[in-house]
Amino acid sequence: MKGMKAEPPQALPPEVLAQAADWFARLQDPAADAGERSRWSAWHASSPRHAQAWREVEAVWGGFDALPPALAQQALEQAAGRLRARRQLLKRGGAGLLGVMGVGVLGWQALAPQAALQTAHGQTGQWTLADGSRLWLNTASRADLAFGPQQRQIRLLEGELLLQAEADRQLLPRPLLLDTGLAQLRVLGDGPSRLAWRELGRREGGLLSVYQGRVELAPHRGDGPPRRVGAGQSLQLRPGGELAEGRALALHEAWSRRLLVAENMRLDDFLAELSRYRRGWLDCEPALASLRLVGSFPTQDVERTLQALAETLPLQISRPLPGWTRLRARA
């Protein structure tokens, strides 16, 4: 963001993005009066995060310029009504609802010091570890635990995890280590820490995101020293040992609450992420791939999320073949 070069922008909470989208819908309404605009101005000025969220929502809706003229005009004409419809879905438990429960969730389970953990495709899991820490596995993930007298060890064998690490309660605190295959992560300090690791594939490596506390990353390959990553930061580790810094996105933490958080995300990337929680093929027409999304969407009811998109944007859901769902421009 301009004027903020000293430190990277922080990930916006989903509720702030939702407020910005809600205000956008209100101001697009022809019935919006001076009082409504005054209340929006007060909201906008009350927090730098509000201003940042408003810029991101404006950028998203500005993305309609990339669509064919007729489709862009239709999108702008229908923006207020579609977003208001989405607000009603939020109230009724649709896109953006926090804490959605479903059959694809393994509820909290207490674990012994030695354990093997696994989730199936479309399923997430959550466990309480022997030291009081909490561990989440995203869909199609595997990990094992080895808590002993000298250290607390977690190995991620496949997929993606989120860890809420707590201070060790033993008289001589044991280090908490996470082996990802590409690197060893070490939780620093004696306070709580919250971190996520995601496999990105053979070419892209893996991504560490830190939301609380500090974490040290030591690559298994390369001669460089360990790197320390603080709250709000991310570090991508490529297979050859190359590192790339960034900010910690809500996307890599919100899945533990069964939410997919889109922060100016391309539609094709959004659908690829959403497809992790369902069977079959999910995509969109190539002309729509670069459409940008902002918002929070439930992963436990993919069909409801797709319907919310179709009601919010000028899209329609088609099913060309069994097991294949495609989003098309509305005729």
What secondary structure, in 3-state letters, does 309-326 show? HHHHCCEEEEEEECCEEE
With CA atoms as reference, report the closest residue to 149 among 114, 111, 189, 100.
114
Give the pLDDT confidence of 108-155 residue by residue, as tens digits.
Answer: 444 455 678 999 998 999 999 988 999 999 999 999 998 888 889 999
Structural domain boundaries of the chain? 9-99+258-331, 105-252
**pLDDT higher at 171 or 285:** 285
Q: How many CA atoms lie within 13 A of 201 on its CB side?
A: 2
302-312 vs 69-92: helix axis angle to the nearest 10?
130
Q: How far apart are CA 68 and CA 95, in angstroms?
A: 27
Amino acid at 275: S
Largest CA distance in the chain: 69
With CA atoms as reference, report the closest residue to 51 among 9, 97, 98, 7.
9
Q: Strand pairing partners for 231?
A: none
Q: Give the list of residues 6+ apart from residue 41 with CB closer than 8 angstroms, or none.
A: none
Torsion over CA: 268, 86, 123, 216 (sign): positive
Q: How far apart are CA 238 and CA 76, in angstroms?
A: 41
The CATH code of the domain at 105-252 is: 2.60.120.1440
**Per-residue pLDDT band at 7 (split at 50, 70, 90):** very low
Helix or strand (DSSP H, E) at 198: strand 193-201
Query: What are the structure tokens assigned to 322, written together?
Result: 């069994």
Q: How far apart are CA 146 and CA 176, in angstroms?
A: 10
Choice among 11-25, 110-124, 160-174, 223-237 with the minimum mean pLDDT: 11-25
**Per-residue pLDDT band at 61 (split at 50, 70, 90):** low
* Confidence at residue 78, expressed as pLDDT on a 0 to 100 scale: 46
* Confidence at residue 76, expressed as pLDDT on a 0 to 100 scale: 44
How many Å from the N-terminal Cα to the C-terminal Cα in the chain? 37
pTM more than 0.85: no
